[in-house]
A = this chain, B = another copy of it.
Amino acid sequence: MDEIVNKVIKGEIKFYRIEEHVGNDVNIASEIRRKVLEKMRDISLKNIGNYSMDMNLTAKRNIENSIGCAQIPIGIAGPLKVTGDYIDEEVYIPLATTEGTLVASTNRGCTAITRSGGAKSKIIRDGITRAPALKVPDLEHAYKLISWVRENHQEIVKVFDDTDPFLNLINIEPWIVGRTVFLRFRANTYDAMGMNTVTRGARFACDFITQEQPYAKLISESGNVCVDKKPSAINWILGRGKTVISEVILKKEVVKDVLKTTPESIAELAYRKLFLGGAQALTLGFNAHVANIIAAIFLATGQDAAHITDSSMSIVTPEVTEDGDLYIAVTIPSLETGTFGGGTGLPTQSEALAIIGCQGPGDPPGAMGKRFAEIVAAAALAGDISLLSAQSALHLTGAHERLGRGHV
C-alpha cells in the first residue's frame, strides 16, 4: 500500500485511478487516498476513515474518489403528532445538524404542536420537472414546435414513460423566448425524488421531438426553467416536487406555557419580520428559519443537499384566531424529496428514514414519498413556531448562549 501511496504522491498514479491498482476495492482505495493526503499535508484523517458503510457499494451510485465519510451529529426532536393523508401518528424527527440549539428549539415546537392535537399536513401538488432548451430558426418555428408538442402529447408521453417503469409524464409546459423554446416536463416519479429519471425521460422525449421536427435543435437537457438547485420564481409559483402545507392551531395556553409568549406577539413579529422585512429584502421565503429544519432532515435522510436551496422556500402564516389562539401554517411550494434512490439507501440515511417509518418505496408507489413530505412540512412548522416564539419573547441570543456554542 505504501508503494502505491508514494506513486500517487509522485504523480505516477492518478488520484482518481487508484482503484485500478488495488483490485477495484474502493475501501482500500479510500484508505490510500487518505494516506496520500495525510502525507502531503501532514495531517490525520482517521475520523473520516471511520465509517461503517461498504464503499464498494456506495461507489456504485453515490460517490467517486472516496476517502471516507463526514460524520454529522443527529439529534431527535419529538414526539411530533402529524396527521395527513398518509400518516396519523406521533413521530420522532431525526435532524442532522451542527447548529447548537436547533434540535432543542425544534423539539419545543414539536411539544407545542403535539400538545395542541398535532399538525395537519396536505400535499396539494406533486411532480418533478425538467425543462430542456431548444433552439429553432425563428418565432414561426417556435410556435410550430409547441403546437406540434401539444398535438402529439400522447406519443410523447409514451416515449417519455417508456424510459422507466416509475415515471409518468403529467404535462409539458412550454415557454418561448425569441427563438429559444423551453419545454418543462412535469412527471410523477412516485417515491423517488426523480431528477435522474425525469432528465432521462425528457432527453428521450426531446430526441423524439427533434427527430420529428428537425428544425428544432436541443441546446441543453436542462434549460434552467426546470429549475434545479437554484431558488426561483417559477418553482415558487408552479411548484416542483411536492407542494405541501402543514398547519396547527395552538391554544393560547400552550403558547403561553410552552412557548413563553402570546399569539398577538407572534403575529406582530411575523407581520414586521416575515412580511415587511421579507418585502423590503425581497426574500424568496417569508419564514423564520425553515431552511434549518429542511437542511437537517435532508442531511439525516439522504436527500440531495443542493435541493435545500428551493425546497426551503416557504411562507409561514401566523394568525390570531377569533378565540385568541394562534393559527399557524407553513406553505412549501417546491419540496424535492424521496424515500427511495439517491442517498436514501445509504446505511445511516436509511436508518434515519426508518425512524420516521419512511424507508424505501411505498405501497402503493408514491405513498411513502408523500408520507415523508407530510412529516417534513410538520417538522418545518415546529421549527418556525419555536424560533418565532423565541424572537417574539426576545430571548434568542440567550438560548444560543445557554445551549449553543462556546466563545465564538
**Structural contact, A232 and B63, CB atoms closer than 8 A:** no
Separation of A313 and B394 alpha carbons in the complex (Å): 31
Chain B, residue nearest A223 (CB):
B277
Contact with B along A332-366 (1 / 0, CB 8 A): 00000000111100111101101101000000000
**Structural contact, B309 and A306, CB atoms closer than 8 A:** no
State the majority secondary structure of interface residues on A: mixed
Separation of A393 and B122 alpha carbons in the complex (Å): 32
Is A25's CB within 8 Å of the partner chain B? no
**Structural contact, A69 and B74, CB atoms closer than 8 A:** yes
Chain B, residue nearest A184 (CB):
B281
Residue from A15, A176, A276 whose CB has the most chain B CB atoms within 10 Å = A276
Is A196's CB within 8 Å of the partner chain B? yes
Contact sample, A vs B, 10 pairs, CB 8 Å cutoff: A33-B76, A43-B355, A44-B351, A64-B103, A139-B247, A177-B279, A180-B272, A196-B400, A220-B273, A227-B281
**Structural contact, B397 and A357, CB atoms closer than 8 A:** no
What is the distance, in angstroms, from A114's C-beta to the closest C-beta of chain B? 12
**Structural contact, B74 and A52, CB atoms closer than 8 A:** no
Interface hits, A41-67 → B, CB 8 Å:
41, 43-48, 50-53, 55, 58, 60-67
Known: A124-B176, A224-B274. 17 other contacts (CB 8 A): A15-B79, A40-B92, A41-B355, A62-B73, A64-B107, A65-B75, A73-B346, A179-B327, A224-B283, A227-B281, A229-B290, A229-B292, A237-B237, A275-B286, A278-B279, A279-B286, A285-B309
**Structural contact, B75 and A66, CB atoms closer than 8 A:** yes
**Structural contact, B45 and A73, CB atoms closer than 8 A:** no
Copy tally for this chain in the complex stands at 4
- Given known A277-B224, A342-B405, contact A300–B70 (CB-CB < 8 A): yes
- Given known A69-B74, A219-B268, contact A296–B292 (CB-CB < 8 A): no
Is A382's CB within 8 Å of the partner chain B? no
Residues of B within 8 A of A156 (CB): none
Is A1's CB within 8 Å of the partner chain B? no
Residue from A61, A64, A357 whose CB has the most chain B CB atoms within 10 Å = A64
What is the distance, in angstroms, from A85's C-beta to the closest C-beta of chain B? 10
Is A86's CB within 8 Å of the partner chain B? no
What is the distance, in angstroms, from A166's C-beta to the closest C-beta of chain B? 7
Interface hits, A216-237 → B, CB 8 Å:
218-237
- Interface residue from B68, B197, B220 paired with A269 (Cβ < 8 Å): B220
Is A117's CB within 8 Å of the partner chain B? no
What is the distance, in angstroms, from A60's C-beta to the closest C-beta of chain B? 7
Residues of B within 8 A of A78 (CB): 15
Separation of A406 and B402 alpha carbons in the complex (Å): 46
Residue from A65, A68, A331, A352 whose CB has the most chain B CB atoms within 10 Å = A65
- Interface residue from B48, B231, B340 paired with A351 (Cβ < 8 Å): B48
Residues of B within 8 A of A60 (CB): 100, 406
**Structural contact, B309 and A192, CB atoms closer than 8 A:** no
